[in-house]
A and B are shown apart, each in its own frame.
Chain A
Amino acid sequence: MNIFIDKFFANTTKLIAIAILLIVAWIFTVLFQHSMDSIQAFGFDFITDTKWAPNLEKFGALPAIYGSVVSTFLAMVLAVPLAIGVAIFLSELAPAKLKSPVGVSIELLAAIPSVIYGMWGLFYFVPIIRDIFGGVGISMLTAGIVLSIMILPFMAAVTRDAMNTTPDILKESAYALGGTKWDVIKDIIIPYAKAGIIGSFILALGRAIGETMAVTFVMGNVHKISADLTQPATSIPVTLANEFTEADTDFYYSSLFELSLLLLVISFTIISIAKFYFLRRKRIA
């Protein structure tokens, strides 16, 4: 009887695990099917072409890809050092009285729906960027900053939790050799928590690259590649959110699906590379 229950349990969980793989495959298939028209018509040019003109039936995805990658990169560059700083403060430096209120407010920030970051960005942040950097304020830079603010709390909270897993006895050992607080943080805590810290960065990266609502408000949906970060731009999710309702031709519709397929491929690739590169060393338990 007990063996039967064990078997039943094992098989049920196996089924659920396989279902995950099937869902991923299914999503890929559906996206691929709907993209067929566009793939056959434009081929590889779809990725390298910079012109996106639905009225002329010309669809080039490069500006959107560029926008996705650059806004995510900006967000990570701004958020990573801040997240590490906040986490170090919360796990090692903050007095007990501050630890819990600040920690809880960071977790609350992480729970704010992204559309609210978008609204706040549009009505509060866009004018500030306009005043400081010029331009219209709706821009790649604004999108990067809003994204970084959005992913910061999550990264900081998970990084703090990872740092908190460092055993006291390990920290004490380093102090007992004459280490300062800074020595212990950089030589013991960060290396010990490395896998968890990088894991949080990868998850945040995945969230940033696919983020739609927060950036749709502040990015502008302009299909142009510009080195000037204060210019309006677009990203794949922003294009999808703005244009699906206007997709009146089959090519337009199919091109948007190919964009979403590209987004999926880009996310998968970046996360796989990040995982492979940063987590290949065996995790130290």
Chain B
Amino acid sequence: MATIIDINEEKALEVKDFEFTYASADAPSIKKLNMPIAKNSITALIGPSGCGKTTLLRSFNRIHDLYPGNKYEGEILFKDRNILTAQEDLINLRIQIGMIFQKPTAFPMSIYDNVAYGLRLQGIKNKTELNDRVEKALKSAAIWKEVKDRLKHDANGLSGGQQQRLCIARAIAVEPEVLLFDEPTSALDPISTAGIEELIVELKERVSIIIVTHNMQQAARVSDYTGFMYLGELIELGRTEELFVTPKEKLTEEYITGKFG
């Protein structure tokens, strides 16, 4: 019943017959889901609350594994391997697939140390290399000018929008191949939101992006592909301009025209 378009471009990720069940739940929250994610483009996941979009997003870096008892079935292919196996090196996976959260999560340390954190975790100690990569990441996240004179200051002194850009800088400093955004602007004002959206679009040259959003306009503004999820299933995946103008599925049409949500 679902309408899922074929993607001719190279794929960053491919979800195959994926099911996810939370530890406390009897029934799976995501059911038999199939979905390609195009490389170097932005895929938005939309749908009403509880549809499973964040659950799906959090499966890509297996952050669900922090809480015992959650169960994956099926496959998520990344670089020709299924990342859902028990042998998967989660630390390495999370370096390659980064994540930005729905609220800014500056660590209780300086601005510089925040961005250097992921690099230091990988054992990079060389001062010059750290300095270069921190600067590069802050520049890519369009926050360098604002913070270059106070890199040693506590990151919690920044505004919400600046903190979120700092978190993006921190995530791209380790040079991931995929970035997952979990409603990255839901805690921000409209101006900061516009800044983050612009940044996300710029980043797709270097990384493949999946973004979960409550905001359909945001999906329409930034993404190349949009997936509409409902009750744990992917109802429709299409090119963004087509999905919003000529949805193939009735449910999609009802959702984007505001009949439910």
Contact = CB atoms under 8 A, between A and B. Distances in A.
Interface in B122-179: 122, 154, 156, 167, 170-171, 174
Interface in A169-221: 169-180, 183, 187-188, 191-192, 194
Contacts of A192: 108
Nearest to B89: A178
B98 interface: yes
A23 interface: no
Interface residues of B, number: 27
Given A178-B118, A178-B174, A284-B154, A188 B107 contact: yes
A35 B121 CA distance: 59
A187 B122 contact: no
Contact of A176 (B61, B68, B102): B61
Q: Which of B99, B101, B108, B171 has the most CB of A within 10 A?
A: B108
A95 B171 CA distance: 30
A177 B98 contact: yes
Given A172-B101, A284-B156, A177 B66 contact: no
A281 B97 CA distance: 35
Contacts of A167: 105
A98 to B, nearest CB: 13
B167 A173 contact: yes
Given A177-B121, A177-B170, A187 B107 contact: yes
Contacts of A179: 91, 121
Contact of A188 (B95, B102, B108): B108
A285 B108 CA distance: 9
A85 B19 CA distance: 38
A177 B109 contact: no
B63 interface: yes
B107 A176 contact: no
B92 interface: yes
A183 B174 CA distance: 16
A177 B94 contact: yes
A191 B174 contact: no
B171 A172 contact: no
Given A170-B105, A173-B167, A179-B91, 5 more contacts: A174-B107, A178-B174, A179-B121, A192-B108, A194-B108
Interface of B: 61, 63, 66, 68, 91-92, 94-95, 98-99, 101-103, 105, 107-109, 117-118, 121-122, 154, 156, 167, 170-171, 174
Interface of A: 95-96, 167, 169-180, 183, 187-188, 191-192, 194, 282, 284-285
3 A-B pairs closest in CB distance? A177-B118, A173-B105, A176-B99
15 contacts: A96-B68, A173-B99, A173-B101, A173-B105, A174-B117, A175-B63, A176-B61, A177-B95, A177-B121, A177-B174, A178-B91, A178-B122, A187-B109, A188-B108, A284-B108
